[in-house]
Amino acid sequence: MAYRWKNDLTRADATPEAVFLNRRRVLAGLGIGAAGLGIAGLPGRAQAQDALEPNSWEDITSYNNFYEFGTRKDDPKRNAHMLTTEPWSVTIDGMVDKPGDYAFADIMSQMSVEERIYRLRCVEAWSMVVPWNGFELADLLDLAGVKPEARYVAFETAYRPEEMPGVRFPVLDWPYVEGLRLDEARHPLTIMATGIYGRDIPNQNGAPLRLVVPWKYGFKSIKSVVRITLTDEQPPTSWNKSQPSEYGFYSNVNPNVDHPRWSQATERVIGSGGGGLLGRLQVERQPTLMFNGYEDEVASLYEGMDLRENF
């Protein structure tokens, strides 16, 4: 049964009709009818807000961070076409029963793909709403078999200097790496995304397979994953290695813990100012929600923890 949580979005919030029809065909091919799409939405909020709509395809695919292709927001769209995504495989190793290289096609043949409309909150204090298609990470971990002693999951992005012009510059220690505690990784909200709006995920958004953890800042949702390692030690993460005073391991969205260089109390809503670059600059600000609005679902994971110390 698909995971369900409180939400304030309905199918009527989706946009536009052409994209809706495309998504409906994809879902129909998966045997998922409209009645089964109640899983698509956002969790309940502390107070009622105006209904949110997913951002446009243009917003989602042309305004994002993927430093392997450049540091400007439009660099990934301009340069990511160089990334070869077929064939693709993911190495799953470490504390698993069945380590090995898993072909992307073989993974997809064994996963149940569904639509999840999630808020995306960047650490830079901007936000979007994205209609992802993907499967729960827990199902992929079960495919490999997690050993009892495993406590963390480490992830690694593809590193291909011949295809990724951004890695020529020491912005970070390449390849990009990330990590989650095992209970975070196995939470039903944590997915491996393979599509947006029912289409294959574009290269600039992390094709063909990226992590999505909606209650954490966007940089935790590592793109173009080529390795997943189960371990009993907290794995290193790229931004924490680069600037440990600014980026913690957990990186949960928290309006009460500011970044050292800016406030996290509010966020710029990308797309609220209309189309084009000017519209993206003239955006509305709204209060940042604890755990990005997913507090009811995930707060128990951090019970008893000091979230200022464990930021």
Which residue type occupies 272? S
Is residue 229's pLDDT more than 80? Answer: yes
- Residues 89-110, mean pLDDT to the nearest whole number: 98
pLDDT tier, 274 (very low <50, low <70, confident <90, very high otherwise): low
Which residues on adjacent β-strands are paired with residue 155?
A: 178, 228
Which residue type occupies 184? E
Alpha-carbon distance of 66 to 38, in angstroms, equals 31
Alpha-carbon distance of 77 to 93, in angstroms, equals 31
Whole-model pTM?
0.85
For the four alpha carbons of 216, 222, 226 and 232, in that order, the dihedral sign comes to: negative
The DSSP letter of residue 233 is S
**Residue, of 139 and 52, whose pLDDT is higher:** 139
Which residue, chain included where needed, has tokens 């409209």?
34
Is residue 269's pLDDT more than 60? Answer: yes
**pLDDT confidence of residue 6:** 62
45 CB-near residues (< 8 Å, 6+ apart): 8, 289, 293
Three-state secondary structure call for residue 284:
strand
Binding site for Mo-molybdopterin, by residue number, is 64, 67-68, 122, 157, 205, 210, 221-223
How big is the chain, counted in residues?
Answer: 311
Q: Which two tokens stand for residue 235?
A: 């794995």
**pLDDT confidence of residue 3:** 72
Is residue 33's pLDDT more than 50? Answer: no
**pLDDT confidence of residue 271:** 86
Is residue 49's pLDDT more than 50? Answer: no
Instruction: Determine which of 52-56, 241-245, 249-253, 297-301 has the lowest per-residue pLDDT on average.
Output: 52-56
Domain boundaries, the chain: 11-248
In the chain, the N- to C-terminal Cα span, in Å, equals 33
- Residues 189-207, mean pLDDT to the nearest whole number: 98
Max intra-chain CA distance, the chain: 52
Among candidate residues 164, 47, 45, 144, the one with its CA nearest the CA of residue 90: 144
Binding site, by residue number, is 64, 67-68, 122, 157, 205, 210, 221-223
Among candidate residues 99, 78, 41, 83, the one with its CA nearest the CA of residue 223: 83
Class of domain 11-248: alpha beta
- 7-23 pLDDT, tens digit per residue, is 555 434 443 434 333 43
- 146-194 pLDDT, tens digit per residue, is 999 999 999 999 999 999 999 999 999 999 999 999 999 999 999 999 9
Give the best-scoring range by mean pLDDT among 32-46, 148-162, 262-276: 148-162
